[in-house]
Homo-oligomer: A and B are copies of this chain.
Amino acid sequence: MDELKNKLEELKDLAGKNNLDINKSLAEIEAMLNVGKDSPTWEKVQLARRLDRPGALEFINLICDDFMELHGDRYFKDDPALIGGIGTINGQAITFIGNQKGSNLKENLYRNYGMGGPEGYRKALRLAKQAEKFNRPVVTLIDTSGAYPGPEAEARGIGEAIAQNLKHFSLLKVPIICFVIGEGGSGGALGIGVGDKLYMLENTIYSVISPEGFASILLRDSNKAREAADIMKMTAKDLFEFGIIHGIIPEAPGGVQNDPAYTAEMMKELILSNIAVLRKKKPESLIRYRSRKIREVGHFTESAREEQDLFKLFTRLFS
């Protein structure tokens, strides 16, 4: 593995010297090779939750030439816990959507620690639909401990809002590329996490419940979060091995906060290379492929049985 990495570095140098634009595919190879790196799960949980970890807006500003934030769900409010807008990379317009925790106490409070309410998810859907209308790809940046579990969010239908996103993102007719940039917590993460490609930064996590929650419910001891984190298999490496994510993006030694630009550059390249490929697909084959990928996830046994043929359904859909 190390040898392969060295070769990769040499190749990069060579390409750079010859002004060859092979970086894009290299970034992808690198993202997949990076799987080798390993450290205890709990360390990653802590790194993923660091206050000084760059958030969605910080990454967007590093990735984009220009960015215009757009506000509001058109129903009830603008949710600062979930941001979005239009950015350009090399003149190409892209819609960005991301959880935003804030990086100090004042910001944390303003942004409700990145725990979106229904308004945030409805804003995300509005912006995604707008992107579809104008044929802009969508990039989502996931970083939340979960949707806000408070009474106002419940009263205004946080469950319904997330459900609508899962539904509409799954058939959105433009490419969607998702990155877990910090915490990928449960339905709040998945609510902006349905897409064609899913990458995780090296020190991030993605799980159905927090290790603390898992420990207290299934291990019946809320102090066993560290142990739960291992059992749950929530790191980038775990999810890559499960076949759920497409690659792992390296962070600087000690965590992405030490060199956000390094990781942002990789993300930018992945965005551009993926868009270049996905753009070539017809919308119907794009969403057929996306649906198949979503359909595939799950572990069960059954007696031999013919697999349902999605193709026939999609043919009707586009006839």
Q: Check A157 for interface membership: any CB of B closer than 8 A.
A: yes
Q: Check A75 for interface membership: any CB of B closer than 8 A.
A: yes
Contact yes or no, A74 B156, CB < 8 A? no
Closest to A74 in B: B160
Q: Check A76 for interface membership: any CB of B closer than 8 A.
A: yes
Closest to A73 in B: B75
Majority-rule SS of A interface residues:
loop
How many chain A residues touch the partner (CB < 8 A)? 8
Closest to A72 in B: B157
- How many copies altogether? 2
When A and B form their complex, which 5 residue pairs have the shortest distance between CB atoms, in order from nearest? A75-B75, A76-B156, A74-B160, A76-B76, A75-B157
- A residues apposed to B, CB below 8 Å: 74-76, 118, 122, 156-157, 160
10 examples of A-B residue contacts, CB within 8 angstroms: A74-B157, A74-B160, A75-B75, A75-B76, A75-B118, A75-B122, A75-B156, A75-B157, A76-B76, A76-B156
Instruction: Determine the chain B residues whose CB is within 8 A of the CB of A74 once the complex forms.
Output: 157, 160
Closest to A161 in B: B75
- The CA of A160 and the CA of B72, in the complex, are separated in Å by 13
Additional A-B contacts beyond A74-B160, A75-B75, A75-B76 (5; CB < 8 A): A74-B157, A75-B118, A75-B157, A76-B76, A76-B156
Instruction: Determine the chain B residues whose CB is within 8 A of the CB of A118 once the complex forms.
Output: 75
Instruction: Determine the chain B residues whose CB is within 8 A of the CB of A156 once the complex forms.
Output: 75-76
- The CA of A157 and the CA of B119, in the complex, are separated in Å by 14
- The CA of A5 and the CA of B288, in the complex, are separated in Å by 63
